[in-house]
């Protein structure tokens, strides 16, 4: 199986697994400080997360985690999270109604 298909299959399984349905409350609170618990940021310089594409959110957090996407605070936050926690947060914010 080509590595791209295998990777997509694994990520798809992670994103749809019931184990990732709800992130731990402290993670939501950390994100909510800037992005809002409802996923609507209060600061115009911070992006809204509510209703964003789940895969997009996951990929961006993994890019922050690896350092491929640069942002001091986001890199710190993402490095402290496991891929499973990132997947749970992506699912949580994607499920919120957009503004």
25-35 and 83-95 helices cross at what angle (nearest 10)? 60
Half-sphere exposure of residue 46: CA atoms within 13 angstroms, side-chain side: 15
Query: What is the per-residue pLDDT across 26-42, written as a single tens digit (0 to 9) for each?
Result: 889 999 999 998 999 99
Do residues 58 and 13 touch, judged by C-beta distance below 8 A? no
CA 21 to chain centre: 12
Query: What is the per-residue pLDDT across 45-82, written as a single tens digit (0 to 9) for each?
Result: 999 999 999 999 999 999 999 999 999 999 999 999 99
Dump the DSSP string for 50-71: TT--HHHHHHHHHHHHHTSS--
Instruction: Enumerate domains of the chain plus CATH numbers.
Output: 3-95 (1.10.760.10)
Residue 2 has pLDDT above 90, yes or no: no
Q: What is the pTM of this model?
A: 0.75
């Amino acid at each position: 199986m080509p590595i791209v298909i295998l990777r997509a299959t694994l990520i798809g399984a992670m994103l749809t697994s019931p184990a990732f349905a709800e992130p731990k409350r402290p993670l939501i609170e950390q994100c909510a400080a800037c992005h809002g618990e409802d996923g609507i940021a209060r600061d115009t310089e911070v992006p809204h997360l509510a209703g964003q594409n789940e895969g997009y959110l996951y990929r961006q957090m993994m890019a922050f985690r690896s350092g491929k996407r640069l942002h001091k605070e986001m890199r710190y936050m993402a490095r402290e999270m496991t891929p499973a926690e990132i997947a749970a947060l992506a699912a949580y914010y994607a499920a919120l109604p957009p503004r």
